[in-house]
């Protein structure tokens, strides 16, 4: 008769975390930061069709790194969650914090109860508006592979070389930058992850939550628009 | 788990039906249970759509009636479904407004899940399915007969569709009108419409048609000068949707009244 191997809970969790970290570290990073008119999301992404950034709701965007199929599934459940909530209550009742908490629970649940943890790390970004009572502040929530959640001021980086990139932002980030400066800083930051190799504009996926738009604030920057900004 | 549900597709109405049926309204069921009340439910009356050189124009009066009484003088019957399409509703106001709202969410939901918007044909087809699903309620007195119009960004032209209560979908090349005053509006448009209308001429033709409908059909509301209530008119072109300002509608209305007096 064979005996099942005993693995201590500490060891089990450490192994899972190690596995998830390795998966995430293989992917490229994403930079999100506040700028004068909203929130900028920037990903290094050679694929034009497999998006890492997505629209969730009027003022909420999603960014994910790691295994595409896993974070894209999370993006879709987020859209479903938000649309159902907005239908049942009102559009203003769909908030980033509730969504980030739901993600945290779902991802944490997989981490503790399933064999394989999700190899993902995500950001839920919500743009605020000072003219809109109760919704004044921008929010950036980061949810990690084990479900741990944190909110970030100013900027937030996810992906393999997040710490290195965040150090660069810490030194160069300023509040209320215009969009052009934020985009250029974003690219310089992403180049830290490629050991200084330039990242061509066609390998950048860029989206903004633009406070000045009415209704749906999420907008992707086209390749031409991006090239114009980066040259300017 | 915070994300309950089995549905994996990209349709919002299917998502509601499968995973959130408790917040979905079943009008057929309602109509069956409370048939006497339904007859007195508010109904919207006249809406119209016509093709312009640069897109489409959609207009509707503001009256909702319940039996022989006014239910609302300021109801809105023309809605933007998304950035390039409009839905104008006629028929039972409750289910019609719900259908317009659902269509808007449906189009946005699809776009977010799939990463690209539906073609204009696809949007019209989706609406026709929603009307077909409403058929049991329609048989109980809650018919919804909308118009759908928009700017086809691929063909680079305005297009419009009318529907019947079974979900039948018919594309019209020039114009159409729906609701109790729709017949009179159509008669008026038949005389004033020419292909390739500019915005100003289209606006005039639309307001004349609504005036004719309000004149002949007691359930259609005309311009209410006393309360300052004007029809709602929206124009959809390549640039998106524009609400025609009330001041402009008032000016055109005045011009129409002037010329009919002189004539």
Query: What is the rounded CA–CA span in Å between residue B164 and residue A143?
Result: 49
Chain A residues touching B109 at Cβ < 8 A: 79-80, 83
Contacts of A77 in chain B (CB under 8 A): 3, 5
Work out the pLDDT band at B1, boundaries 50, 70, 90: low
Q: Which residues of B touch A86 (CB under 8 A)?
A: 105
Catalytic status, residue B45: yes
Mean pLDDT across chain B, nearest whole number?
93
- Note the pLDDT tens digit of each residue in B19-53: 999 888 888 888 888 777 776 778 878 999 999 99
What's the pTM value of the predicted model, to 2 decimals?
A: 0.93
- Per-residue pLDDT, averaged over B8-20, amounts to 93
Q: A196 vs chain B: nearest CA distance in angstroms?
A: 32
Residue A8 class from Cβ within 10 Å (0-12 exposed, 13-18 middle, 19+ buried)? exposed
In a domain? residue A5:
no
| Interface check A88 vs B, CB under 8 A | yes
What pLDDT sits at residue B39?
66
DSSP string, B128-181: HHHHHHTHHHHHTT--B--EEEEEETTTTEEEEEEE-TT--EEEESSEEEESTT
Q: Do A101 and B2 touch (CB under 8 A)?
A: yes
Q: How many interchain CB pairs under 8 A, A with B?
A: 49
Q: Which residues of chain A does B12 touch, with a Cβ-Cβ cutoff of 8 Å?
A: 83, 87
The residue assigned the tokens 């009066």 is B61
* Pairwise CB contact (< 8 Å): A88 & B7: no
Low-confidence ranges of chain A (pLDDT < 50): none
CATH number for domain B12-262, candidates 3.40.190.10, 3.40.50.150, 3.60.20.10, 3.40.50.170: 3.60.20.10
The mean per-residue pLDDT over the stretch B72-80 comes to 94
Inside any domain, residue A82 = yes
- Where do the domains of chain B lie? 12-262
A51 touches chain B (CB under 8 A): yes
pLDDT value at residue A31? 97
pLDDT (tens digit, 9 = 90+) per residue, B112-122? 999 999 999 99
What is the extent of the structural domain holding A106?
A: 26-231
From A87, A88, A105, residue closest to B2, measured CB to CB: A105
Helix (H) or strand (E) holding B69: strand B69-72
Does ipTM surpass 0.90 in this model? yes
Residue at A208 is within a domain: yes
Question: Which has the closest alpha carbon to B41: B117, B127, B119, B144?
Answer: B144
β-bridge partners, B91: B44, B144
Instruction: Return the pLDDT at B223.
Output: 93
> Residue A175 domain-assigned?
yes
Closest approach of chain A CAs to the CA of B100, in angstroms?
A: 13
**Do residues A42 and A186 touch, judged by C-beta distance below 8 A?**
yes
* Cross-chain Cβ contact B112/A84 below 8 Å: no
CA B72 to chain centre: 17
Buried b or exposed e, range A176-197, using 16+ CB within 10 angstroms: ebebebbbebbbbbbbbbeeee
**Polymer length of chain A:** 232
Q: Tens digits of per-residue pLDDT, B186-219? A: 999 999 999 999 999 999 999 999 999 999 998 8
Q: Once rounded to an integer, what is the mean pLDDT over residues B1-29?
A: 88
Q: What integer is the mean pLDDT of B115-139?
A: 94
In this prediction, residue B263 carries a pLDDT of 65
> Quick one: pLDDT band at residue B13, thresholds 50, 70, 90?
very high
Q: How far apart are alpha carbons A220 and B18 in whole angstroms?
A: 32
Which residue in B8, B3, B5 sits closest to A102, CA to CA? B3
| CA distance between the termini of chain A | 72
CB-based contacts of A137: which residues, under 8 Å, 6+ apart? A128
Q: B7 touching A, CB under 8 A?
A: yes
Of B144, B150, B143, B137, nearest in space to B237 by CA: B150
Helices (H) and strands (E) in chain A, counts: 6, 10
- Angstrom distance (rounded) from CA B183 to CA B57: 18
Taking contacts as CB-CB distances below 8 angstroms, the residues of chain A near B115 are 49, 51, 54
User: Between residues B222 and B234, which one has the greater pLDDT?
Assistant: B234
d(CA A75, CA A207): 15
- Cβ(A218)–Cβ(A55) under 8 Å? yes
Separation of CA B148 from chain center: 6
Q: What CATH number is associated with residue A68?
A: 3.60.20.10
Contact A152, A169 (CB under 8 A): no
Is the CB of residue A81 less than 8 Å away from at least one CB of chain B?
yes
Contact B58, B209 (CB under 8 A): no
């Amino acid at each position: 008769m064979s005996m099942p191997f005993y693995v201590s809970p500490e060891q089990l969790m450490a192994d899972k975390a190690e596995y998830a970290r390795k998966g995430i570290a293989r992917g490229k990073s994403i930079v999100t930061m506040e700028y004068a008119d909203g929130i900028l999301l920037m990903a290094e992404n050679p694929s034009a069709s497999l998006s890492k950034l997505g629209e969730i709701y009027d003022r909420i965007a999603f960014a994910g790194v790691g295994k595409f199929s896993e974070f894209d599934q999370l993006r879709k459940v987020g859209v479903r969650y938000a649309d159902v909530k907005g239908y049942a209550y009102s559009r203003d009742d769909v908030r980033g914090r509730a969504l980030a908490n739901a993600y945290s629970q779902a991802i944490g649940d997989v981490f503790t109860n399933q064999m394989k943890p999700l190899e993902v790390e995500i950001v839920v970004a919500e743009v605020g508006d000072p003219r809109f009572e109760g919704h004044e502040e921008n929010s950036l929530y980061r949810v990690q592979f084990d479900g741990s959640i944190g909110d970030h001021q100013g900027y937030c980086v996810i992906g393999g070389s997040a710490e290195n990139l965040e150090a660069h932002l810490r030194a160069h980030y300023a509040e209320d930058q215009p969009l052009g400066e934020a985009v250029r800083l974003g690219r310089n930051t992403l180049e830290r992850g490629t050991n200084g190799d330039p990242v061509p504009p066609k390998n950048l996926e860029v989206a903004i939550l633009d406070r000045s738009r009415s209704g749906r604030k999420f907008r992707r920057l086209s390749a031409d628009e991006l090239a114009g900004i980066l040259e300017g | 788990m915070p994300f309950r549900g089995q549905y994996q597709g990209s349709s919002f109405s299917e998502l509601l039906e499968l995973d959130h049926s408790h917040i979905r309204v079943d009008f057929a069921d309602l109509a069956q249970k409370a048939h006497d009340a339904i007859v007195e439910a508010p109904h919207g009356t006249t809406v119209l759509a016509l093709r312009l050189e640069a897109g489409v124009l959609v207009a509707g009066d503001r009256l909702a009636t319940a039996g022989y009484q006014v239910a609302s003088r300021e109801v809105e019957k023309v809605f933007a479904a998304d950035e390039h399409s409009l839905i104008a509703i006629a028929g039972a106001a409750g289910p019609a407004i719900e259908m317009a709202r659902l269509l808007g969410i449906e189009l946005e939901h699809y776009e977010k899940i799939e990463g690209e918007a539906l073609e204009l044909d696809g949007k019209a087809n989706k609406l026709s399915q929603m009307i077909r699903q409403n058929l049991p309620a329609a048989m109980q007195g809650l018919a919804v007969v909308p118009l759908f119009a928009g700017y086809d960004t691929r063909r680079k032209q305005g297009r419009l569709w009318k529907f019947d209560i079974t979900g039948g979908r018919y594309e019209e090349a020039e114009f159409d009108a729906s609701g109790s005053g729709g017949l009179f509006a159509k008669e008026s448009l038949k005389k004033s419409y020419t292909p390739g209308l500019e915005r100003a001429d289209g606006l005039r033709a639309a307001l004349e048609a609504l005036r004719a409908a309000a004149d002949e059909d007691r359930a259609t509301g005309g311009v209410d000068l006393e309360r300052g209530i004007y029809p709602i008119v929206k124009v959809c072109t390549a640039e998106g949707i524009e609400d025609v300002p009330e001041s402009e509608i008032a000016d055109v209305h005045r011009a129409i009244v002037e010329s009919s007096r002189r004539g």
